[in-house]
Amino acid sequence: MKTLIITIFLFLTLVSANFAQIVVSADGPISSLSEAIELADHGAHIVVESGTYRESQILITKKVTLTGVDLPVIDGNQSGNIFVVRADSVVIDGFKIQNTGRSYIRDYAAVLIEGVSDFEIKHNQIDNVFFGIYLAETKRGLVTNNTIHSYDLREASSGNGIYLWSVEDPVITHNTVSGMRDGIYLEFATNAQIYDNISNHNNRYGLHYMFSNGGRYDRNQLRQNGAGVAVMYSDDVDMTNNRFEHNWGSSAYGLLIKDIRNSTISGNRFYRNTVAIYSEGSTNVDIHGNDIELNGWAVNIKSNSARNRFTDNNFIENSLDVRTDSPRNNNFFDGNYWSHYEGYDLEGDGIGDVPYRPVSLFSMIIERQPESLILLRSMFIRLLDSAERIMPVLTPKTLMDENPKMQRISRIL
Amino acid sequence: MKLLTHIVKNEWKSLLRGKWVIGYGLIFLLLTDSLLRFGGGGAETLLSISNVMLLFIPLVGMIYGILYIYQSKEFVELLLTQPINRRVLYWGLYLGIATPLMSAFIIGAALPLAWHNILLLDGSSAALVLGLGGILTLIFVALGFVLGLFFYDDRIKGFGFTIVIWLFLAILYDGLILLMVFAFGNYPLDRFVIIVSMLNPIDLARILVMLEFDISALMGYTGAVFNRFFGSNLGILVSGGMLAIWLALPSWIGLRVFNKKDF
């Protein structure tokens, strides 16, 4: 009986320790987060009342749940990191985190998570920071519903919104990032799941993959970023249902793919980018079922790209359809809808009877004399293009769509 | 002023009686409607309309202007015997035939756009295309007038010049620009091509269409002059200003010729 009581008592203390709640408030007994974390036991729940807390380098070395009530402000006073997470299963929920340090040597972040797993960073508003949420050598973990915004307009002196370095299985969803260098930047990330994020108005890329294999990004909005989106040196990435819009500039792309293999680009919408899809050295990529509308160039594919398949895409009123730098073609175009197609369909099966050649003579002319761009949509150029399409001399002979669709391919949503 | 509106009103009446203008509007109505029905979305249709507009409105406008001068010779000469200010008579005649033609295009193309809901979705683009069509009509009817007054007694020459001028402005001019670009390709040509394109009203209209639909492509070219011109409002302002000059110039020349001519 005695032992039983002792066991129950011990159990209860353990449980109560686990669910111990520590309240931090500006005018209460515990008025700083660092102090609260110091006092907290493993698994404690720390509730932070609203108010402003001027703290930085808040080091979290034990499993705690930090919850903000009515968005308390954690102001880093322009020095160092703000939260530094070095324990597994930490939750940071509902803070306004602002003013990290800035440095050319160290990457100061609003939330730095190092070498741990299963964290949750959610519902935070991160404002005027160098780096936003920085994951280094983490496993799993969730970053969701955060807003990150900063104001530096220079590429060299701004940091990344959500930065993933050498991580496994991260889940990044429903975040909004703007005004950073790269909205979301993945380096050596494996199997990242990136859903429903909005990454607009960043100085460089909205989303940037480097050496990050596997995973998928889906339903993200990537608009008006300095250089669009880049996926480089990565394999097996699924890029689905995203919106790449309004990325303008001489080196801006809706989607830049470089040295990637075995990936899928499908169900995306590319709208009014200077170049919708730019491919350099990519192999075996499926570009399927995308809507590519009103871009400067729909596709710019360098000759070192091979065995990429463009099927069932809608190419709608792009200023120019395809641009390439070689008379040879190692890629495959089939069954797309091209709004510039002028062929006919006698059998009535919905597929044009003459192939479509998406590389126009004019795009070759621009390649040699960029100034002639001013003649775009001129009648004279149209006549030249039509003549070239009938008797191709200068444009790649084998780059063509043998089965162009007569009607825009409708997408079932 | 009263006299002016009187003349314009009369012109409208006789044109409507002739049904020619109605047919012209109907052509655009049918064209736009079928483009919308079979061609797909808004931007696609607007670009097709603008292609047709850039090619045919100048031709139709000029032919119409010159034809009017030739057909109503007796009427004009009769009016000139009356105590009417020549300036008022000229503007009355010009506006009397240019505005119905302009309205025929705008109404003809706008109605299908309205009932296919494009006017609401792509309002500014649609307004631009329709507006440019209207301005081109005014410019080229005036040019037709000028040609008609120049070759008042020699119809063959008049029509010949009309066709040649149209062919030159609509097609050959761009060929010449391309030729120049290739001939002097080693020099910086940004400024040159912009200025030269500004001198042709059809190219001006085309550039304005480009600024609306192809700005993303224009931003792809690295030239600083290009980027400054097309990237800011400067492009729109300068092209708009040049178009206004083009609007004034032919009708003013027409007026001078009309004033001095011994009929």
**Domain residue spans in chain A?**
25-226, 239-359+396-413
pLDDT at B187 over 90: no
Kindly report, residue by residue over B203-238, the tens digit of the pLDDT. Answer: 999 999 988 888 878 877 777 777 788 877 888 899
Mean pLDDT for B59-66 is 93
To the nearest whole Å, the CA of B182 is away from the closest chain A CA by 7
Interatomic CA distance for residues A365 and A137, integer angstroms? 49
Write down the mean pLDDT value for chain B.
Answer: 88
Q: Is pLDDT at B197 greater than 70 in this prediction?
A: yes
Domain around B200: 2-260
Of residues A184 and B123, the one with the higher pLDDT is A184
Question: What is the nearest CA distance from A369 to chain B, expressed in angstroms?
Answer: 7
Is there a contact between B190 and A371 if contact means CB atoms under 8 Å apart? yes
DSSP string, B6-74: HHHHHHHHHHHHH-HHHHHHHHHHHHHHHHHHHH-SHHHHHHHHHHHHHHHHHHHHHHHHHHHHHHTHH
| pLDDT score recorded for residue A298 | 95
- Is the separation of the CB atoms in A279 and A308 below 8 Å? yes
Task: Please give the model's pTM, rounded to 2 decimal places.
Answer: 0.87
Q: Look at the alpha carbons of A26, A29, A34, A37 in this order and tell me if their dihedral is positive or negative.
A: negative
Angle among Cα A373, A375, A376 to the nearest 5 degrees reads: 75
pLDDT at position A349: 92
Q: How far apart are CA A330 and CA A399, in angstroms?
A: 8
Chain B residues whose beta carbon lies within 8 Å of the beta carbon of residue A339: 39-40, 44
Q: Which member of A275, A378, A407 has the closest CB to residue B220?
A: A275
CA distance linking residue B34 with residue B224, whole number of Å: 41
- Give the residue from chain B lying closest to A379, CA to CA: B171
Q: For the beta carbon of residue B123, count every other beta carbon within 10 angstroms.
A: 12
Torsion, Cα of A143, A146, A150, A153 (10° steps): 60
Is A375 touching B (CB cutoff 8 A)?
Answer: yes
Which of B197, B214, B215 has the most A C-beta neighbours within 10 Å, making it the best mutation to test the interface with A?
A: B214
Closest partner residue to B218 among A373, A381, A407, by Cβ? Answer: A373
The per-residue pLDDT for B132 is: 94
Residue B103: in which H helix or E strand, if any?
Answer: helix B86-115
Q: Do B47 and A317 touch (CB under 8 A)?
A: yes
For the record, the structure tokens of B200 come out as: 């042709």
Chain-centre distance for alpha carbon A7: 52
Give the DSSP letter string of B181-198.
Answer: HHHTTTS--HHHHHHHHH
Q: At what angle do helices B190-198 and B173-183 cross, to 10 degrees?
A: 170
pLDDT, block means (10 residues), chain A with 413 residues? 59 53 90 92 93 93 94 93 95 95 91 95 95 95 95 86 96 96 95 96 94 94 93 95 91 93 95 94 95 93 94 93 88 94 90 92 87 89 88 86 92 66
A3 contacts chain B (CB < 8 A): no
Say which CATH superfamily domain A25-226 falls into: Single-stranded right-handed beta-helix, Pectin lyase-like (2.160.20.10)
Contact A101, A75 (CB under 8 A): no
Q: Nearest CB to B181: which of A249, A293, A369?
A: A369
In the structure, what pLDDT confidence band is assigned to residue B260 with cuts at 50, 70 and 90?
Answer: confident
Contacts with B, A 389-408, CB within 8 Å:
407-408
pLDDT computed for residue A3 by the predictor: 63
Residues of A in contact with B181 (CB under 8 A): 369, 371-372
Number of structural domains chain B divides into: 1
pLDDT reported for residue A325: 87
Min CA distance, A379 vs chain B (Å)? Answer: 6
Residue A220 backbone dihedrals phi, psi, to 5 degrees: -90, 155
Is the Cβ of A369 closer than 8 Å to some Cβ of chain B? yes
pLDDT of residue B105: 94
Tens digits of residue pLDDT in B73-115: 888 888 888 888 888 888 888 988 899 999 999 999 999 988 8
Query: What H or E segment, with its residue span, contains residue A141?
Result: none
**pLDDT value, residue A68:** 94
Q: What is the pLDDT of residue B202?
A: 94
- Judged on CB neighbours under 10 Å (0-12, 13-18, 19+), B253 is middle
Question: Which A residues in the span 197-256 are in contact with B, Cβ-Cβ below 8 Å?
Answer: 246, 248-250, 252
pLDDT value of position A82: 95
pLDDT for the residue numbered A236: 95
* DSSP codes, A191-236: S-EEES-EEES-SSEEEEEES--S-EEES-EEES-SSEEEEES-BS
Which amino acid does the sequence have at B174? D
Q: Which residue of A has its CA nearest to B224?
A: A250
| Residue B44 in tokens | 């696609």
pLDDT of residue A285: 96
Tell me which H or E stretch contains B132.
helix B123-150
What kind and span of H or E run contains A347?
A: none
Residues B35-54: what's their mean pLDDT?
A: 83
Strand-pair partners of A207 = A184, A229
The nearest alpha carbon in chain B to A250 belongs to B220
Confidence category of residue B41, pLDDT binned at 50, 70, 90: low
